[in-house]
Amino acid sequence: HYEPAARVTRIKASASVAAAARVRELRADGQEIIDLTVGEPDFDTPDHIKQAAVAAMDAGKTKYTSVNGTPELQAAIIERLARHTGIRYRTSQLTIGGGAKQIIYTALMASLNRGDEVIVLAPYWVSYPDMVLANDGTPVIVECGEDVGFKLTAAALEEAITPQTKWLILNSPSNPTGAVYDADELKSLGEVLIRHSHVHVLTDEIYDEIYFGEGRLRSLVTVVPELADRTLLVNGVSKSYAMTGWRLGYGAGPEPVVASINKLQSQISSCPSSISQAAAAAALTGDQTFVEDSVKIYRERRDVAVEGLNRVPGLSCVSAAGAFYLWVNCTGVIGKTTPDGATIVNDQDLVLYLLESASVAVIQGSAYGLAPYFRMSFATSLETVQAGVTAIGDALAALR
């Protein structure tokens, strides 16, 4: 008889990973599914990045590297962060891992003791609360509704902080809402944080390149440099360079935080793949046309989807300022009856109905901690986005 550890029984498997698996299953059964669950770019990794990986293999760069990366990758990350944040991090302030996900997990593992609180904003990326729970922490969920643009306000932050608060996790652009914090919003959060010197901040900036606004997206550490000595900035190459399968992410922050993460990494993974490190260095230092081109394509899909969804009675959604998801309010559909006579009681029912009656896969808002909503990805072809929106509209028109 096998009993998993309590940390495993405390958590759920990732809802987005589960949704993707369900789509694969239905497709394997021969069903045609319009998959709007995808959490990764539909583009292929740019060729110059792949070639850098091949070159690294050919040159024998197939061995363990130091825990915090090859000199080439370290230099690439330092330059990239200097360009984007204005801060020149030192090598000793860097950590790398198998994706931003692994960095966040290890950061929590390296810092949390039982009873430590982590402020997580709902709607949240599905992994944050479970990562906190798995590492003995207590997620403190702060609901950030539509009235505040799905963003944390200074007042809500002030109210959530306790003597036990270890971290605030901020994700901008946000998965699932696409919300982005502007400089004024970061400044007002910064004013609160400066007063509470025991609170560390983890800024998950994995979608920072996928930004539809003017100019460059601002980092908390740029707007409030006083917080740099307690902010762990997390990023990676997955979303910006269509490199999700390469598994390479990085963190930059205060030395004591990073040192504790790297100590754990030395026992967990030794280092991420040397080949992926070479590819990531090429991604960060090479031609950035791919990033600009893909943002243009995402923007077009976003606009088509927002327009189409807002024409569907019962649905409404604000446009995403970044990332590649729409966060769709489905309040107007709750309580309606399907042609089979079932009542749509919540967003989970709606998602099941859409999958079964229209073969459209989206993810229920309740998985992200705010209902009734669903998340629709536009990291898929314009045709799929259009077909999805039409199918959703038709399926909802059949409700009574």
Q: Is residue 145 within a helix (H) or strand (E), and if so which, with residue range?
A: none
Member of 138, 153, 244, 288 binding ligand PLP (CB under 6 A): 244
Distance CA 233, CA 201 (A): 8
Member of 42, 204, 208, 209 binding ligand PLP (CB under 6 A): 204
Distance CA 293, CA 300 (A): 11
Member of 106, 175, 231, 240 binding ligand PLP (CB under 6 A): 175
Q: Does 238 bind ligand PLP (CB under 6 A)?
A: yes
Least distance CB 323 / ligand PLP (angstroms): 8
Member of 125, 150, 241, 368 binding ligand PLP (CB under 6 A): 125
Nearer to ligand PLP, 89 or 105 (CB): 105
Query: Of 94-102, 187-195, 261-269, 340-348, which part binds ligand PLP (CB under 6 A)?
Result: 94-102
Nearer to ligand PLP, 173 or 308 (CB): 173
Distance CA 166, CA 143 (A): 19
Nearer to ligand PLP, 37 or 384 (CB): 37
Q: Does 101 bind ligand PLP (CB under 6 A)?
A: yes
Question: How far apart are the two ends of the chain, measured CA to CA in Å?
Answer: 49
Q: Does 236 bind ligand PLP (CB under 6 A)?
A: yes
Nearer to ligand PLP, 69 or 308 (CB): 69
Residues, the chain, total? 400
Member of 99, 129, 272, 322 binding ligand PLP (CB under 6 A): 99
Q: Does 95 bind ligand PLP (CB under 6 A)?
A: no
Q: Does 100 bind ligand PLP (CB under 6 A)?
A: yes
Query: Taking CB under 6 A as the criterion, which residues in 274-333 touch ligand PLP?
Result: none
Which tokens belong to 290? 């791919």
Least distance CB 1 / ligand PLP (angstroms): 34
Distance CA 110, CA 145 (A): 31
Nearer to ligand PLP, 175 or 359 (CB): 175
List C-alpha distances in Å: 304 to 254, 297, 298, 319, 327.
42, 11, 10, 10, 14
SS3 assignment, position 274: helix
Q: Which amino acid, residue 42?
A: D
Member of 142, 206, 220, 392 binding ligand PLP (CB under 6 A): 206
Member of 85, 171, 240, 359 binding ligand PLP (CB under 6 A): 171
Q: Residue number with the shortest CB distance to ligand PLP? A: 99
Q: Please tell me the count of residues contacting ligand PLP according to CB under 6 A.
A: 13
Query: Of 98-106, 132-140, 143-151, 156-164, which part binds ligand PLP (CB under 6 A)?
Result: 98-106
Determine phi and psi for 148, rounding to 5 degrees: -110, 25
Determine phi and psi for 174, rounding to 5 degrees: -90, 135
Distance CA 376, CA 166 (A): 32
Contact by Cβ (8 Å): 104, 110: no
139-161 burial, b for 16+ CB within 10 Å, e for fewer?
bbbbebeeeebbbbbeebbeebb
How far, rounded to the nearest angstrom, does the alpha carbon of residue 158 sit from its chain's CA centroid? 24
Residues lying near ligand PLP in the complex (CB under 6 A) are found at: 39, 99-101, 125, 171, 175, 204, 206, 236, 238, 244, 249
